[in-house]
Structure 1
């Protein structure tokens, strides 16, 4: 490939890298896997020298989607042998210069939320691809059909099935960002301050705590349920003395979260989901493999 064409191909690819990473991450639930897929897409693009493709965005999304589907099929076996509950890899998020309005922002945030990504894990690879391309990125059915080499009728059926599945299984959580941050802060103050009654007062009676350690860090290997059990567990954990600990509030997967660092390294991500003003679910991510990229940023919107 001539040097000028190689430069053009690189520039075109880099211009579309954010959307490719966004597609791959939503499909795979792991930022490291998403980066691998995007890198493979780059290798194919650069080898083929396709800087003259009329619609490079669609072409690159097609390559990335197909690679992600292949990776998803391989990952299903890994999930079957995973130790304890599985949660998506948390990732920092922020909006780009052209921020959307409030409704669009909420929709974009939801598409990368831990709750939605957990539900997407139960879809087939094809259903997940259709859902991500249609719901998160608004691709026309005809384009998705071409990407997946399926008829438009088949794609519409996959989209309908995926949408119904997500609607049925997705928990109904409050999405007010300010309220979630405020309750997250009160939640941590109550736990860290040794006020069990205040902590229990923030929890819904049927609250759930889901922790992901992959068997590589200390964490419950089963979901903990009810306010009393969750509250007492968190109360006990918060009471442990850990040298070099630091707490940082940040945005993770489109929502407020607490990042716990020990000696400057990510140790735990804590995020809560609300319903009717009380904490309905607590997510703890402690698998060190899933925290390596927690400060890397997935920019929204793509």
Structure 2
């Protein structure tokens, strides 16, 4: 049974939630061991939190949110503007035609939307407000002095790389590749001091390690950060930080393989605890002395 076939099986009312989860885990382990399943950085970052978080991520039904669409739009506008018309469309004209305080809650809008989804199944419907926000953010990136310098050094965008590390297969999508590796991030606050804390907190240095491993050589690694206030900052992850990310990535792959062998995917934070019982010990912290 593949994970594709499993979708139907775990929806069976005859199975309890616990049974569905165990069936999913067993199938997932089988597919990784056979080399069918592949890891992404996003999935590996969940495993870094805990095996339980990884399974929750893999089982989750993803729904597209406005924030996700905003991110896709900004990426497309900055990196692949020629794809916009083929990939997105807005509801501007329909909203204006309906009018009123809440046009999207009307029957007319819902019927129009359902019809559009049938006509353009390959496109994403974007609210006009989100589209305008994305255009402002993209313009801020494209007009930023530092960002323009970095963007001029990439030759491929949305570049897919499939690779294998220590017997585990990976799929990575690089925002930009050329003389450098580029990652474009939509963030809460692009203030350099705040975003550099986010780089560590959100494990972007590990992502740099994964992408550098995928490329197969250590290229200068840059992150362009843009927030909803259209503030932009550009960050060069120095080689020592990227190498640290590679080291953590390699350790995580080793842990992931051990988890596959021991089938410990039900464990939470006890997976990396200090004792065999899964308990964390805490002494008097220095700041209380």
Shorter-normalised TM-score: what interval?
A: under 0.3
Task: Compare CA radii of gyration and give the structure with the larger one.
Answer: 2
**Greater RCO, 1 or 2 (C-alpha within 8 Å, sep 6+):** 1
What's the TM-score, normalizing by structure 2? Answer: 0.23
